[in-house]
Amino acid sequence: MKQLIVPLVHCCNFTLRQMYIYNVTLSIDESIHEEWLQWIHRHIPEVLATGKFISAKLTQVLIEEEMGGVTYSVQYKAKSREDLDKYYKEDANKLQSDGMRKFADKMLTFRTELKLVNEFFSNEVKN
């Protein structure tokens, strides 16, 4: 059985809309790990409730940190640059400060923006 990787934009005869990913990488101290996991499962729906993002993925980064702790990435997908900019202007300060107040120096974060260029999915091809 062969596998064929096809870009989404070419397999479905439509143009891929410009989407943006707001990526938050978080290093969590082991002493608060369980409490943080419960909190982030409540926090992500709050971010989505702003209406600026269409989906979110929570992933664990599979590396061992020299300083210990556990690292996660949350990827929020925005439909447009305008939605992402509106999030920064209207919601980001409050939502970011909630976590910082609660976990202070036990949580380190950095944020990156990504522009989705193309998305690929696997289609199995049978001979």
We report the CATH number of the domain holding residue 48 as 3.30.70.100
Average pLDDT over residues 52-72: 91
The residue segments making up the domain with residue 57 are: 16-118
Residue 43 within a domain? yes
Residue 3 placed within a domain:
no
Apex CA 120: angle with CA 25 and CA 43, to 5°?
30
Number of domains the chain contains? 1
Q: Indicate if the pLDDT at residue 16 is higher than 60.
A: no
25 assigned to some structural domain: yes
1 part of a folded domain: no
Burial 68-106 (b: 16+ CB within 10 A, else e): ebbbbebbbbbeeeebbebbeeebbeeeeeebeeebeeb
Asked if the structure places residue 126 within a domain, the reply is: no
Cα separation, 12 vs 8, in Å, equals 6
- Is residue 11 domain-resident? no
The pair phi, psi for residue 66, each rounded to 5°, is: -60, -40
Q: Is 105 contained in some domain? A: yes
The CA distance from 118 to 12, in Å, is 13
Q: What is the mean pLDDT of residues 99-126?
A: 88
Asked if residue 124 has pLDDT above 90, the reply is no
List, for residues 20-38, the tens digit of each pLDDT value.
999 999 999 999 999 999 9
Q: What are the tokens at 38?
A: 């419960």
Q: What pTM did the predictor assign? A: 0.81
Domain annotation covers residue 10:
no
pLDDT digit string, tens, across residues 69-98 = 999 999 999 999 999 999 999 999 999 999
